[in-house]
Structure 1
């Protein structure tokens, strides 16, 4: 009888929450970052043209932030905010091709300091020393495993660096080769038993649009593409051609996501791995007669944002309408891993909200263009702006005053600008006051872009506003 009692107590200690052997297992993070993938161009988002079955399945298992935005919708600012949890005018990366300061406190540094292995594969775009330059270990912001390049969109002739300055070539379409390396990293880490943070950073579906493998291009014929109603008639032919190629890249990446998900399951760690799928910004693709990013319209601003949780919340999908911004990702991921969030972080921690708790936001988030450049240079209509995106409204000011106001519920394609409409005056006043309050709290004086360029000591092309770089 005493022996049986001892065995009973021993089993209880081994398997009970308070037992000495029932230690908490730290979750892994697989962060899948794409480039220029706008929120509406996915099957789960209601797009019946693009084929994304694997991501659609991931969405069914995830918390879907349907109003997620890239607060400064262009490549480098998003990436800097992702790593630091800070806004662009704090970390200073509000233009492309500038360096994220080495003094920055990043998510990779925090997680490595907490016992995590950290890995980065693909497009980096945070070193500011030319797009083909080698990034040495001391400038990798806490990432240990490294198979990356600053920036390229030559997807079929792409190279990368490991730990030495010797260039290595991705075989074929680079996303497929990068995925193979990511899968092996997942297998190796699962065997090692060390929790990991892996950022898989793809370069597509960013233009050039017509370079996906031929079998994916054959899936989409321009003449069959249906356009959003806000594409002007004189640009519809070009839009259809571009979208056909864009969708081909999307479907190719969807297969990559499917392979990654299968590898997590094969390795036996899918239920203990947080998976995030998102993009650094969207793509106008001729909506409102515009191309690419930086703009405050939804095609540029809104990004996919899926969080598949680990543990007891694994596979429990739902859609939420709260906005979430770029600087919120780092604190949210650290919160999900129950790690301390650095005091340098400005973003909000949505981890409790993801688990069904209280929303940490007030329902509005700030969108910005501190200084227009490149494809949205001033000669092409580019200008500074500050705005708010809520679950329902988009409100934007430029330096001259109120510029845009959309009711995204009744006007989902943003074709009716209510700004300065007398009927919308109370709404505009309310949003304007909320924006000014947020900017004051953030210490954003909303100055001309040249003031920030001077403040951070950047040298830009006076015509394009672009920081010169070498390919």
Structure 2
């Protein structure tokens, strides 16, 4: 595969993302595709969305232990964004940015278990307005603090019509779902990855040849913990004693991490098998070449790196996510590795662009479609903002959590907390981020440049980097518990 290298641009050229506040008054939310256009001339769209799958853990990204043959094969004919990041590396905020194309301080979602504004202009609403059939299967996590409750048809489903989903459930062998408008609590039969994938295949077969194209999101819960809950056939594929660890995993955690990697990788391989089955279904129905496939995750998992687990933190194992765009139809995607930065809010405009649908004025993200089609040599931006607005949950203040703002470029990570510069890594020469260069005299000019760049990016985003509780109050969040977390209920 070819690699498309993107240089770090001077600060004055890095401000390509739209200023929402300058354009919102001229919002135009209209259809740009004629209702007479047939399915054959418009691509279907399938998003396969996983939870807590870090970018480093695929065969195609260089992990020699994890078994992902179907994703590896898909990557060979896809655009692989090797620097894709999760702007706020946690579940609900990523999903909110994906479906709105907005940064968290615009859509107001920067913590888990907060309901997305039902008036939001979402990707499903736009596809629906343009004649697409819309469907959602799996984990939703955009309907507030009641994780296992029924999400009724209408505004709270944000434009999705077909519905086999639940707000949030990580009991993968007895997980809840609701069937369209049926308020009865159902349970997926067996391991939910298999059951959800089968339902997705059924949906694809039922809609592959309709007059109107489909937009389907399939959102798996794994490989999010609990790790060791994948089917035994998959856990038997991995011997913990033979698994290699990243050099930034402390010695005293290595045995525990190897055991957890068995479960983490087992979930991944099970998902990979389902990716293969879904692709086969698309091929059998003759719509593979006319379907845009996006594979991505909402954040990663440190899995022992830097002595920690899970997400929220600004290290690469937490913020970097897999992101493959595949489309071999007309105006198709040019395969290869892309070093440009892409963030969660960029997904919506890019998919709309690939489908020749007008991007709503509410969207802040970048439309990378022409870049993927080879019609633009360089992307509009080479910097992504990474953020923790209010630490909570697994990284609450009592566990060392804190607010931060940072930027990730193709070469550097730079992060400030409320007290000043915190982290600086040369990711090209220190890929495991083991040498913090912040305030190092030899990197004064670089740090100043990155600090200025961060300040400019925050100004464009209208982010004044205030303490988290200011934003909790501003967006009228429900009362937080003693750890500063939105409590959730089943």
Coarse TM-score class (shorter-chain normalised): over 0.9
Once the two structures are superposed, the pairs formed by residues 295-314 of structure 1 within 5 Å of their partners are 295-312=313-330, 314=332
Normalising by structure 2, report the TM-score: 0.90
CA distance in 2, matches of 1:243, 1:22: 46
Moved beyond 3 Å, runs of 4+? 20-24, 312-316
Stretches of structure 1 that go unaligned for 5 or more consecutive residues are: 1-19
CA contact (8 A) 2:332 2:373 kept: no
Distance 1:21 1:302, change over 3 A: closer
Instruction: Tell me if 1:392 matches 2:411.
Output: yes
Displacement of 1:193 in angstroms is 3.2
The answer for the alignment partner of 2:81 in structure 1 is 65
CA distance in 2, matches of 1:23, 1:72: 35
The answer for the alignment partner of 2:136 in structure 1 is 120
Once the two structures are superposed, the pairs formed by residues 369-384 of structure 1 within 5 Å of their partners are 369-384=388-403
Displacement of 1:309 in angstroms is 1.6
Which structure has more RCO (C-alpha within 8 Å, separation ≥ 6)? 2
CA contact (8 A) 1:212 1:248 kept: yes
Instruction: Tell me if 1:342 matches 2:380.
Output: no
The answer for the alignment partner of 1:406 in structure 2 is 425
CA contact (8 A) 1:61 1:314 kept: no
Q: 1:432 aligns with which of 433, 448, 451?
A: 451
Alpha-carbon displacement from aligned partner over 1:411-432 (angstroms, at most 9, x marks no partner): 0000000000000001000000
Once the two structures are superposed, the pairs formed by residues 89-108 of structure 1 within 5 Å of their partners are 89-108=105-124
Aligned length: 452
Distance 1:419 1:152, change over 3 A: same
The answer for the alignment partner of 2:230 in structure 1 is 212
CA contact (8 A) 2:81 2:323 kept: yes
SS in 2 for 1:465: coil
Stretches of structure 2 that go unaligned for 5 or more consecutive residues are: 1-35
CA distance in 2, matches of 1:61, 1:316: 8
CA distance in 1, matches of 2:419, 2:354: 42
Alpha-carbon displacement from aligned partner over 1:259-305 (angstroms, at most 9, x marks no partner): 11000000000000000000000000010001100010000000000
CA contact (8 A) 1:322 1:391 kept: yes
The answer for the alignment partner of 2:161 in structure 1 is 144
Q: 1:135 aligns with which of 121, 141, 151?
A: 151
Alpha-carbon displacement from aligned partner over 1:129-183 (angstroms, at most 9, x marks no partner): 4000100011100000000000011000112002121112211100100000100
Alpha-carbon displacement from aligned partner over 1:208-237 (angstroms, at most 9, x marks no partner): 000000000001121111100000111111
The answer for the alignment partner of 2:25 in structure 1 is none
Distance 1:223 1:406, change over 3 A: same
Normalising by structure 1, report the TM-score: 0.94
Which sits farther off after the overlay, 350-359 or 243-252? 350-359
CA contact (8 A) 2:135 2:216 kept: yes
CA contact (8 A) 2:325 2:333 kept: no
Displacement of 1:451 in angstroms is 0.2
SS in 2 for 1:137: coil
